[in-house]
């Protein structure tokens, strides 16, 4: 761990554009999040609640919702994010980025003046022109997506697929600083987004399927200089563990043993990385981070431990190389599949909880960690963290110390009977746990998970009820022989076939109670739901279908009360804001993501193992009949 202590040096700088200086940037973020006329950060707030108190559009008038305007993103695919809408220099402004289909059109940032909210005007756009790495596009797993930009201190802070974190002047679009954060030749690409916490820009990257070694890095917002860096595998020092880590739950694993090393095997004679499997052990932080400014804790989760052929990640040999022995806790492959709570100023780990030890399914743990207060569990109120994991369990933890409070199945799950709340470990089912090379094993959910990165939403006034898009498909997984250990090269070693759990239904949106483990209602869809959700005080929940339908739902009854077909499949996340006395709702359309990449990349639909199983699902659900596009659509009530 490398820590710089002089973070206060710039605290007395002059205000930039009338806004807060870097030393109090988090105050600015929090203040913007409380003004629901705007949408200041990707998740509306750093708790990632995706809730708005706006209610001009409501269940009584949503039928009058009409198209207002649209704007091309400049790219055809990969729109998993959302814009931000802020007041900058006295004007309402919208900022957003495209995906990265190719380097000449990679992560185009646009700045729109919304002073005339029905007729936005682009005032600048930005594409990085120099030092680009073309190899990032084929190395991006899965798809060349972009999950959004941040605005703070008069800057747009965002990332590029090929590894740059960049701060732009929000007025001119000129570069303020640029840092190289990830290296595609090592399998590292950034799909983001970054997190702004205090005066830090915190960034991860993806690449588990290319043997990347996960790490999280914090940069100074003013200068772009590195403040701290913490890995997810390796020594206690590399991971930023301390003697206080997991003090309340030592059974999760504590410092003193270098668990991030010894829970991976060390192969004799291995040409690359002879120091051990942990050096190519995955655990990347490739999705959403959240932040509690009172506790000063950053919450961010890690992905799978590299390749998908699990027997190679177990150190037993001979007759001991069995599913049962490899799940005895010795070879957990820490700290992959882990929710980390880190101190914002140093990165030190306060607590770390591994959801899927010794992963056998690619159940990446990177889904968003949503923070809610006063959640009543068994008669006690908690500052809670809620995480809907790919493995099909919805976890509720006390975010102050990591204590596990609930772990309920929110989709069909057969790989585990339950999660033991005392130990925190899943009770695995051998018949649905891929293990041996060349043996085909069925399991639910599929590797795409009960929910992938598409984020849920919650009204903090109702902290137990979450509005979540879910996947409803299973898989057959056949581990393969490992042929290499080289970073930056495809590193999966499994044949995966995915299929709908029930014919004709591949997606559902649910209102789910994380305490009781029951759904109030659900909406089935023939197309996968890869869009996030938005919940408002107008009694509505908004989301999109990969079939292209943008919908408003009565959040009490679950009835679809408005729908509009857009120009492509929707994998973006809706936002809402208010300008000129009128409430607007915006969303990206543009097929892509892991589920859409067979279409966007032009893969062979007859190859049922293509895109690690995505081609079979795309064909089964008819996604090859959905046109490609890259558009931002905006709606308001008719006059």
- pTM score: 0.94
First to last CA, the chain: 57
Give the neighbor-by-neighbor strand order of the sheet with 297-301. Answer: 289-292, 297-301, 338-343, 349-354
d(Cα 443, Cα 454) in Å, to the nearest integer? 21
Note the pLDDT of residue 2.
Answer: 42
Structural domains in the chain plus CATH codes = 22-637 (2.140.10.10)
Question: Which residue among 45, 46, 58, 304 is the active-site one?
Answer: 304
pLDDT in tens, 272-289: 666 789 999 999 999 999
Contact status, residue 56 vs residue 188, Cβ threshold 8 Å: no
Question: Within 10 Å of residue 5's Cβ, how many Cβ atoms?
Answer: 8
The DSSP letter of residue 173 is -
**Helix or strand (DSSP H, E) at 371:** strand 370-377
Provide CB contacts within 8 A for 287, sequence distance 6+. Answer: 147, 191, 204, 301, 366, 367, 368, 453
Q: Is 348 a catalytic residue?
A: no
Note the pLDDT of residue 270.
Answer: 61
Show the tokens assigned to 196: 């702004």
Which residues of the chain have a pLDDT value below 70?
Answer: 1-24, 268-274
Q: Is 209 a catalytic residue?
A: yes
- CA dihedral sign of residues 301, 433, 331, 253: positive
Question: Which residue among 188, 198, 362, 477 is the active-site one?
Answer: 362
Helix runs in 386-438, H state only: none
Note the pLDDT of residue 141.
Answer: 84
- CA dihedral sign of residues 151, 152, 154, 155: negative
Query: Do the bridges between strand 534-536 and strand 51-52 make them parallel or antiparallel, or are there none, so unpaired?
Result: parallel
Note the pLDDT of residue 609.
Answer: 85
d(Cα 344, Cα 328) in Å, to the nearest integer? 34
Note the pLDDT of residue 271.
Answer: 60
Count the alpha carbons within 13 Å of 635 in the hemisphere toward its beta carbon: 23
If you count them, how many residues does the chain have? 639
Q: Is 304 a catalytic residue?
A: yes
Note the pLDDT of residue 15.
Answer: 29
Question: Within 10 Å of residue 481's Cβ, how many Cβ atoms?
Answer: 10
Note the pLDDT of residue 584.
Answer: 98
Nearest C-alpha neighbor of 546 from the set 598, 501, 584, 498: 598
- SS3 (DSSP) at 597: helix
Question: Which residue among 198, 209, 359, 525 is the active-site one?
Answer: 209
């Amino acid at each position: 761990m490398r820590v710089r202590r002089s973070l206060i040096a710039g605290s007395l700088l002059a205000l930039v554009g009338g806004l807060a200086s870097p030393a109090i940037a988090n105050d600015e973020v929090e203040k913007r999040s409380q003004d629901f006329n705007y949408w200041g950060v990707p998740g509306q707030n750093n708790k990632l609640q995706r809730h708005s108190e706006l209610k001009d559009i409501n269940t009584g008038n949503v039928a009058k919702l009409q198209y207002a305007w649209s704007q091309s993103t400049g790219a055809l695919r990969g729109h998993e994010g959302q814009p931000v809408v802020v007041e900058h220099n006295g004007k309402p402004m919208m900022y957003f980025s495209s995906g990265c289909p190719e380097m000449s059109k990679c992560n185009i940032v646009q700045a729109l003046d919304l002073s005339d909210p029905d007729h936005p005007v682009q005032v600048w756009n930005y594409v990085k022109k120099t030092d680009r790495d073309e190899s990032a596009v084929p190395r991006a797993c899965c798809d060349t997506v972009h999950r959004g930009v941040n605005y703070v201190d008069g800057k747009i802070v965002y990332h590029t697929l090929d590894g740059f974190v960049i701060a732009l002047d929000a007025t001119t679009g000129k570069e303020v600083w640029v840092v190289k954060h990830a290296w595609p030749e090592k399998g590292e690409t950034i799909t983001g987004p970054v997190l702004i916490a205090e005066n830090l820009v915190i960034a991860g990257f993806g690449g588990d399927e290319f043997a990347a070694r996960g790490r999280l890095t914090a940069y100074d917002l003013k200068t772009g200089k590195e403040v701290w860096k913490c890995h997810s595998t390796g020594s206690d020092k590399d991971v930023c563990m301390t003697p206080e880590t997991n003090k309340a739950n030592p059974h999760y694993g504590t410092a003193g043993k270098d668990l991030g090393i010894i829970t991976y095997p060390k192969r004799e004679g291995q040409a690359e990385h002879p120091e051990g499997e942990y050096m190519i052990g995955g655990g990347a932080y490739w999705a959403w981070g959240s932040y509690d400014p009172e506790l000063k804790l950053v919450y961010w989760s890690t992905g799978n431990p590299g390749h998908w052929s699990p027997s190679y990640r177990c150190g037993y040999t001979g007759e001991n190389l069995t599913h049962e022995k490899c799940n005895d806790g010795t070879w957990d492959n820490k700290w992959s599949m882990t929710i980390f709570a880190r101190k914002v100023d140093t990165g030190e780990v306060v607590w770390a909880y591994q959801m899927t030890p010794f992963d056998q399914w690619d159940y990446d743990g990177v889904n968003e960690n949503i923070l809610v207060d006063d959640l009543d569990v068994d008669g006690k109120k908690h500052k809670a963290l809620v995480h809907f994991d790919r493995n099909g369990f919805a976890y509720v933890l006390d975010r102050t110390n990591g204590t596990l409070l609930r772990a309920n199945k929110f989709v069909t799950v057969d790989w585990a009977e339950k999660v033991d709340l005392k130990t925190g470990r899943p009770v695995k089912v051998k018949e649905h746990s891929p293990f041996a090379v060349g043996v085909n094993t069925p399991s639910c959910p599929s590797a795409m998970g009960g929910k992938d990165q598409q984020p849920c939403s919650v009204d903090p006034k109702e902290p137990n009820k979450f509005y979540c898009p879910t996947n409803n498909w299973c898989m057959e997984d056949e581990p393969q022989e490992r042929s290499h250990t080289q970073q930056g090269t495809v590193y999966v070693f499994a044949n995966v076939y995915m299929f709908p759990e029930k014919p004709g239904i591949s997606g559902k949106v649910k209102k789910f109670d994380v305490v009781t483990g029951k759904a109030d209602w659900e909406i089935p869809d023939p197309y996968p739901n890869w869009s996030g959700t938005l919940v408002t005080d107008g009694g509505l929940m908004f989301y999109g279908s990969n079939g292209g339908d943008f919908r408003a739902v009565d959040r009490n009854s679950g009835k679809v009360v408005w729908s509009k077909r857009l120009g492509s499949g929707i994998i973006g996340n809706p936002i809402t804001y208010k300008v000129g006395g009128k409430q607007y709702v915006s969303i990206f359309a543009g097929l892509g993501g892991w589920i859409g990449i067979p279409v966007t990349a032009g893969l062979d639909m007859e190859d049922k193992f293509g895109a690690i199983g995505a081609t079979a699902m795309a064909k089964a659900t008819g996604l090859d009949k959905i046109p490609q596009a890259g558009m931002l659509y905006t709606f308001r009530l008719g006059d």
